[in-house]
Chain A
Amino acid sequence: MIEVICNDRLGKKIRVKCNGDDTVGDLKLLIAAQTGTNSEKIVLKKWYTVFKDHITLDDYEIHDGMSLEMYYN
C-alpha cells in the first residue's frame, strides 16, 4: 500500500491510499469518490507529464508519499 498526495492548489489536498499496481484511472476513481468530483474531469500531472489512465502507478514510478498535481478539465 502506498499513500499518494494530490493537490489542486485551489483548496483541495487529498491523501489517497492505494496499491502500487493500481492504474491511474483507479486512483482517479478513488479521488473522485473522496472529493465528490467527477473522475473524468480529473487530470493528474507531475510537472508537464500528464498521467494516463490505463498505466499503473508502479510503472509511472509513483511511490509512497509522492504528491501529484491535480487539474480539472
Chain B
Amino acid sequence: MSEISASIEETNALRAKLGLKPLKVGPESSSAQIAEDNLKRQREEEAKKAHEEEVKKRIQKAKNKRQLNKVVAGKGLGEASDDDDTDDVHKWTMKSRQSEKKRQAEAAARRERELQELDEAYQADYDESHLSGLRVGHDVSDFAEGEEKILTLKDSTILENEEHGDELINVQMSEKQRLDKNLENKKKVNRPVYSGYDDEEFVLGKKKNILSQYDEVLGIEDEGEGFVIGRNKSSQRSVAGQEGADSQSRRELSAKEIMNQKLKESAIALSYNKTQQIQDYYTKEEAEVTFKKFKKKKKSRSRKTDNWDNEEVQEEDSMEVDKPAPVDFSDMNFVDDEDLQESLAKARRIATKKTIKKLTPEQIAKNLAESNSMEVGDDEEMKGGLIISDVSEFVSNLSSSAVQIPSSRATASAREKDSTAHESVRSPTDQDAPKEDMEMEDSKDRETPVNSYSSLTRAESEDEGDVDVPMNEATNDESTAAATGAPVLVEEPLVSSGLGATLALLKQKGAYETGSAEHVERSKNQSDRAKWLAEAKLREVKLARELADQKARDRERAKDKNYSTRDRDREREYENQRREQQLLDEREARMKNYKPDIKLEYIDEGGNRLSTKEAFRQLSHAFHGKSSGKMKTEKRMKKLEDEKRLLGMSSTDTPLNMVTALQERQKAAGAAHIVLAVGNRNVVPSRLANTGASGTATPIASSSRSGTASTSTAPSASTSTFAAPSTTTQPTMSVSGVHAPNREKVTFGLKRKADTASASGPTEESAPKKSRT
C-alpha cells in the first residue's frame, strides 16, 4: 500500500482552492516562545529600574549624612559647659581621655579582629595543624606510605556526633571493610552456631540477636580502631593509643557497660574439678572455702526418758571430742554420673527390703524367746508386756471365730449348758498374762468348747426341726381331716373364745393362708436376717473390745524399756495386717448366704391386693391417662363384690340360707320334715301346708325309699319332704323317715333336689312324719 501524499506546493494550491491560508513553512515561532521572550524582556527592564532606584537612594543617603554632619559639627552642649567648669576640668579631661582611649582601643581591637577574620577567611594554605584532634575511622596500617586517600566526614546523627566528635573516613575503605566482614559472616554460617552455653553474652556483654550469624553489616561499625590526627607518632602510638583508648573508654562507658564490667569481675566459674575426691579430712581453708556449714536444728526428742536414745546421744558426744567438725555435704553436688547414682539407690532399696523381710519372723521369734525367758526368770518383775506363744495365738484366732456364732444363736438353755465353755474360751483374751501351765489347760479345755459348739448347733437344728414339726402336723391334721371328710360341715369356732379361735376361724374360711411353701421360705429368710443382724452387732462389740485390748497391750509394751521402737512398729504392723485379714474373712463368710427379702406388692385404691396382671393394668392406665370403660369396670366391681360375699358367707349354710329357713320351719311346725309337694300335681294344699306339721302322722322312713318313691308314678299323692342333715347342727335330733302310705313322696336330699321340688309347683303332703329318737 502506498501513501497518498502531496507536496507543499500542491497542498498550497489545494488550500488556495479551498479558501484556506497557505501553509506556514519555516522556523516555527510559537506563541509560548513569544511569551517567554516577553517575560525576559520585562524582567530585565524591572531589574534595571530597581538598580537605578537603589543608586539613587544611596546617593540620597550620602547627601543626608553629609547634611547631618554639617549640622552636628562644632562643640556640643556638654563640652561647652565642661570647658567652663575649671574645677572639674582636669578630672573631666582625664575622663574624656580615658574614654577616648578606650574607645579607640576597642575600635582597634575590633578592626584587628575583623582583619584577622578576613585573613583567615582568605587564607589559602590549610596545613596539618588544622586537622589535629580529628579522629580517623581507619587503622593507620590501612594507609600505605605515599598513597593519597580522600577522607570525608562520617555520617552521624547529632547525638553520635556530640558523643564521639567528628570522624573522618574513606568511603571506599569502609566499603571494603564491610565486605570483608560480611564474607566472614557468611563463612561462619556453615559452622555450628549453638554452643550450649550463653558464654558470649557474658563475655561480650551484650545479648546477641536471634540468628545473628545471618545478619549483614550495613554500616561501618565503630570498633574503636582508628587514630587521632596529631598523635600519630609511630613510636608513641601504641602507648598513647592505649592510653587514649583507656581514658576514652573510661569516659565513654555507658551505664550498661559499667554493669557488665562489674558482673565480669564478680563472675563465678561454674567449672569445677571433677576428679576431686571426697576426703575425710580437709584443711581449714578448704573446708571454709568449699562448704558452708549449716547450723542444724537438733530435734527435740519427745521421749526424754528413753535411755536408749540418751545413750546414743552421749556416745555421740563422747565421739565428737576427737572428731573434726562434721562437714556438711548437703549443699554440695558430687553427682557425676546420675545413672550410676540411680542404680546404686535401687540396689540399696532392694537390700533394705530384703533385710526387713528376713528379719520380721526372726525378730518376732527372738522377742518371744526373750519374753518367755523373762517370764520364767522372774514373774514378779514382769508387769506389763505381752506374751505371744503359738498357743495363745491359736486361742485368739479360735475365740474370734468360735464365740460369735453360738452366742447369737444359742437359746437360753443352750447358753446355760455352754456357759462354762464360753468362759473358758474367753479367758485367754481377757487375761493379758496367763501362766504357761495354765495355758496348757486352756488348750485342753479349748477342744471341748468346739465339741460343745458342734453339739449345740446340732441341738439347735433339732430345735428348728421341732418348730417346723408342729406346723407340719397342723397342716397334716387339716389335710387328713379334709381327706377323711367325716364331718362335711364343721363347727365354726367361736370368735369370742379368743385369738386362737379367731385365727382358726380365719384359717377355716380361707381368709388367712398358712403354710404355702413360699410363705414358709420367706418367714425363714426373715428370721435368718434377724439372726444375722444380731450376729453382726455382737461381732462389732467384740471387735471393739479386741481393739481396746490391743491398745492396752501396746501401751504396756511401749512402757517396756527393752522394746525398741522399730520392733514395736513392726509388731504393730503385723498385728494390724492380721486383724484386717481376719475382718475381711469374716465379712466374706457373713455375706455368703445373704438373701435379701424383697417382695413387690401392688394395692389398688380399694385396698385390694393386685395380681401381676391387674397391677400392670393399673400402671398402664396411670401412664396413658385413661382407664377401662364403664362395662368393664362394672364387671370388675361385681366380681370383687362376689368375692367379698363369698368370703362373708357362712360355711355352714347355703347362700340362700336354706338351712336356717328349714330350722325355723321345723320349729314352727314342730315336725322334722317339710312337705314340699303332694301327689302328681306337685301342689301343697294350704291346709296341709299350714297344719300338716301339727298333725301326727306315721313317720316316713328311710331315704333309700325316697328314690324309688320319687320315680314311682303312684296315683295317689306323694309327699316329698325335705329334712336338713341336722345331725351335726342339732345333735339331739335324728331323722328317720317313717313310711307313710305310698302315695306320699318324701324326700331327704340335698338342697338342689329340694329346690327343684319346691320350684316345680304346689305340692301335696299327706302325712309328713318326723320322729325323734
Q: Which residues of A contact B (CB under 8 A)?
A: 1, 5, 11-19, 22, 26, 29-30, 33-35
Contact = CB atoms under 8 A, between A and B. Distances in A.
B11 A30 contact: yes
Contact of A26 (B1, B2, B18): B18
B20 interface: yes
A34 B8 CA distance: 13
Given A18-B23, A19-B21, A22-B20, A11 B1 contact: yes
A13 B3 contact: yes
Contacts of A34: 4, 6, 14
Contacts, number: 47
Contact of B18 (A11, A12, A19, A30): A30
A53 to B, nearest CB: 14
Contact of B15 (A11, A15, A30): A30
B4 A33 contact: no
A13 B2 CA distance: 7
A64 B25 CA distance: 13
A16 B23 CA distance: 11
Contacts of A18: 11, 23
B518 to A, nearest CB: 111
Interface in B548-562: none
Interface string B582-598: 00000000000000000
A28 to B, nearest CB: 11
B20 A13 contact: no
A38 to B, nearest CB: 14
Given A13-B3, A17-B6, A33 B14 contact: yes
A26 B6 contact: no
A46 B15 CA distance: 24
Nearest to B11: A17
20 contacts: A1-B8, A1-B24, A1-B25, A11-B1, A13-B2, A13-B3, A13-B4, A15-B4, A16-B11, A17-B6, A18-B23, A19-B23, A26-B18, A26-B20, A29-B20, A30-B14, A30-B15, A33-B14, A34-B6, A34-B14
Nearest to A32: B18
Nearest to A18: B23
Nearest to B22: A19
B1 A13 contact: yes
Contacts of B6: 15-17, 34
A15 B2 CA distance: 10
Contacts of B23: 1, 17-19
A11 B4 CA distance: 10
Nearest to A12: B4
Contacts of A35: 4
A14 B1 CA distance: 11
B86 interface: no
B5 interface: yes
A16 B2 CA distance: 14
Contacts of B20: 22, 26, 29
A15 B11 CA distance: 11
Q: How large is the interface on B (under 10, 10 to 19, 20 to 34, 35 or more residues)?
A: 10 to 19
Given A13-B1, A15-B3, A29 B18 contact: yes
A34 B350 CA distance: 123
A5 B18 contact: no
Given A13-B3, A15-B5, 9 more contacts: A1-B8, A1-B25, A13-B2, A17-B5, A17-B11, A19-B24, A33-B14, A33-B18, A35-B4
Contacts of A19: 21, 23-24
Interface of B: 1-6, 8, 11, 14-15, 17-18, 20-21, 23-25
A15 B23 CA distance: 15
A33 B3 CA distance: 15
B88 to A, nearest CB: 91
Contacts of A5: 3
A34 B13 CA distance: 12
Which 10 A-B pairs have CB atoms at the shortest separation, nearest pair first? A15-B5, A14-B4, A1-B23, A17-B11, A13-B3, A33-B14, A15-B3, A29-B18, A34-B4, A1-B24
Nearest to B20: A26
A13 B18 CA distance: 21
A14 B11 contact: no
A19 B20 CA distance: 10
B33 to A, nearest CB: 14
A13 B15 CA distance: 20
A18 B1 CA distance: 23
A1 to B, nearest CB: 5
A6 B136 CA distance: 70
A1 B28 CA distance: 8
A15 B4 CA distance: 6
A17 B20 CA distance: 13
A5 B4 CA distance: 9
A20 to B, nearest CB: 8
A18 B5 CA distance: 12
B22 to A, nearest CB: 9
Nearest to A29: B18
B8 A17 contact: yes
Contacts of A29: 18, 20
A34 B4 CA distance: 8
A18 B11 CA distance: 8
Contacts of A33: 14, 17-18
Contacts of A26: 18, 20
Contacts of A16: 5-6, 11
A18 B20 CA distance: 10
Contacts of A17: 5-6, 8, 11, 23
Contacts of A15: 3-6
A16 B12 CA distance: 11
B258 to A, nearest CB: 73
Contacts of B11: 16-18, 30
B257 to A, nearest CB: 69
A1 B679 CA distance: 173
A63 B11 CA distance: 18
A12 B2 CA distance: 8
Contacts of B1: 11, 13
A7 B5 CA distance: 12
Nearest to A11: B1
A13 B11 CA distance: 16
Contacts of B3: 5, 13-15
Interface centre among A11, A17, A29, A34 (most CB of B within 10 A): A17
A41 B23 CA distance: 25
A26 B8 CA distance: 16
A26 B15 CA distance: 9
B520 to A, nearest CB: 117
Nearest to B31: A58
B9 to A, nearest CB: 10
A22 B11 CA distance: 13
Contacts of B24: 1, 19
Nearest to A64: B28
A27 to B, nearest CB: 10
A34 B23 CA distance: 16
A73 to B, nearest CB: 20
B18 A14 contact: no
B759 to A, nearest CB: 130
B508 to A, nearest CB: 127
